[in-house]
Structure 1
């Protein structure tokens, strides 16, 4: 054996040495990239998208109370994002919302999910904006971000029009938001939106009935409409002909709108609704509001396959505010933040990256 044990070792070929150098350069670039704010945001964007498409790590919620409301608080540190539930009876406890909150915590947010009683009870009204405003006022930190699911975008926008509240809101991300209330009602009753025929999801129709039945002055019609709505929400094909003949003039006006299939009659049928319902539709109609003074940046994410709120509604809302950005996905159902396909993933990734830019500004 030689006393210089390595002198006979065959040196690696030049190509292999170059490969090793290239790998070291790539690894160094990755390290340097992740050390920069854009690199970290890109990494967090990918991680958040992966969490939304899978099962994010469990995050325990801390119950908090504030004047006029209560909420679940996820995460221990980071800027605060208020996650606003849409119209769903599970409210803040909806499993999809809980997973979404956990994914956001993994991306560096501290997530506050208020218990919005109006949206939870499906008694949708402009008064829901007061609940949202109160949650914003009492959220930790000087500035907050908002993420609103579907209907929740309406009270989120209305609350953020108040100067005191607007001063605290940095950005609002809205998923599948309505804009023109009369146009959306026309869609889920007839299937027509701006001259196009689509197949609406009937859930929106019966949420509308349930949320407005309590506004009738005829208590008998109110009871019957609530029963009709709950029956149809449980089973869209169930018979209701044992209930509809018993309706009075107020209930028949509502059912005439629901049974109508002619888009040309929608305006007159809406105008013929009992005043309590018509007035509330007007208060919830963002298209009837002057949004030129809306201060926060608005990120609208909407799927072209949405059959509850057509994608054009989100596009119109983004165009109606000074700082609106619109992200159109091909497949998003209604408010399911799981992108399918490379194109949708890239589009959703752009929206997430922009939201994370606000996270870094606020942090």
Structure 2
């Protein structure tokens, strides 16, 4: 048997690391370390395009359009900024659109138009797209348009919803797929803020917004003084929110004012034909997600022709910081796959 000396082994290791797979492995490790650390922030430059504005991080490399979820800080959310910086360190240019709906917590299927404009005007012939939480819904809707789909190489969704009615049933009753979980109340009150403006009764709009903001500030805050003043439209919304019986969810949704019920239908990906969805979709979801249950991400991945699910045991809903070797391995596989697309695009 031929023996290899230490210099030969070292040369083999070096050659392996500078090969494309080895280089991607090193970039994967660096990106995951940056996500979990506190690297120095990268200052973006503001760019404008017809119908929108965005922050652009990095000077070179393929472009990844990064969409913030439903958070008041929007594109300036510290977690999103950290994510953008980590991606720049892995060789991407990162474009973060200023999505007015997500920042104002007024979620709508019309947000897909903002996403589509951002993709159309992003630099390069091909781009990647990553969406956090709710932002996956307008991202998927935008990608159903032919010209947007033609420009998208790959998509990433972190903690995405799929079946709108099922998600509403979860954050109101704590039940998903016959299992009892403890939902994070944030999703419930974002739903209220998002839909209050769709009521024709201006008094109920104001009262529901006040209820939602009070409960978002303090989940145990008393709201009886506001709830007792609601008219029929507001009462219908609160009946859904106060319900604890999963068997009543469908009827209570159907009893909502038309503006809200119709928008729920437009945001329901499970009601869409996704059989022609072109890009590969990398879905990253944690089993312990209490805003959007992991089964939603699994269902979305299964509904797409090129969906891949990366299921972690422990993952904060919109934060890609993980602990433990098992979760690190799963997230590392997703990151490595994304970097394979980076190299194809570059």
TM-score (norm 2): 0.98
Structure 2 matches for 1:180-329, cutoff 5 A? 180-329=163-312
Pick aligned residue for 1:90 from 68, 73, 85 = 73
Paired position in structure 2 for 1:4: none
- Partner Cα distance (1:275, 1:360) in 2: 47
Alignment partners' CA distance in 1, 2:10 and 2:323: 30
RMSD: 1.0
Contact in 1 for aligned 2:41/2:81 (Cα 8 Å): no
User: Is the aligned partner of 1:123 residue 2:106?
Assistant: yes
* Contact persistence 2:278–2:306 (CA under 8 A): yes
- Check the 8 A contact 1:298/1:324 in 2, yes or no: yes
Residue 30 of structure 1: how far off its partner (Å): 2.4
Equivalent residue number for residue 35 of structure 2:
52
- Paired residue for 1:64, among 25, 28, 47? 47
SS of the residue aligned with 2:282?
strand
Deviations 1:98-125 (A, max 9, x none): 0100000000000000000011100000
Return the match for 1:99 from 58, 73, 82.
Answer: 82
1:86-107 CA deviation, whole Å, 9 max, x = no partner? 0001000011110100000000
Distance 1:106 1:167, change over 3 A: same
Partner residue in 1 for 2:129: 146
**Are 1:332 and 2:310 an aligned pair?**
no
Equivalent-residue separation in structure 1 for 2:142 and 2:40 (angstroms): 32
CA distance in structure 1 between the partners assigned to 2:153 and 2:343 by the alignment: 12
Contact 2:63 2:92 in 1 (8 A): yes
- Secondary structure of residue in 2 paired with 1:242: helix
Aligned partners of 2:229, 2:12: CA distance in 1, in Å? 73
Q: Which moved more, 1:103-112 or 1:26-35?
A: 26-35
Structure 1 residue matching 2:213: 3-state secondary structure: helix
Return the offset for 1:338.
1.1
Q: Tell me, which stretches of 5 or more residues in structure 1 are unaligned?
A: 1-17
Matches of 1:115 and 1:265 in 2, distance apart?
Answer: 38
Q: Secondary structure at the match of 2:156?
A: strand
Higher gyration radius (CA):
1
Q: Is the 8 A contact 1:63 1:70 kept in 2?
A: yes
Tell me the residue number matched to 1:34. 17
The residue number in structure 1 matching 2:94 is 111
Runs of 4 or more off by more than 3 Å in structure 1?
none
Distance 2:314 2:168 in 1: 22
**Quick check: 1:189–1:259 contact (8 Å CA) kept in 2?**
yes
Q: Give the corresponding residue for 1:8.
A: none
Give the match for residue 117 of structure 2: 134
Find the aligned partners of 2:161 and 2:242 in 1 and give their Cα distance.
Answer: 22
Q: Tell me if the contact between 2:297 and 2:309 (Cα under 8 Å) persists in the aligned partners.
A: yes
Q: Distance in 2 between matches of 1:335 and 1:308?
A: 10
Normalising by structure 1, report the TM-score: 0.93
Q: Secondary structure at the match of 1:325?
A: strand
1:164: Cα distance to partner? 0.7
Please list the CA deviations of residues 169-206 of structure 1 after superposition, one character each: whole Å capped at 9, or x if unmatched. 01000000000000000000000001000000000000
- Structure 2 distance, partners of 1:333, 1:339, is 8
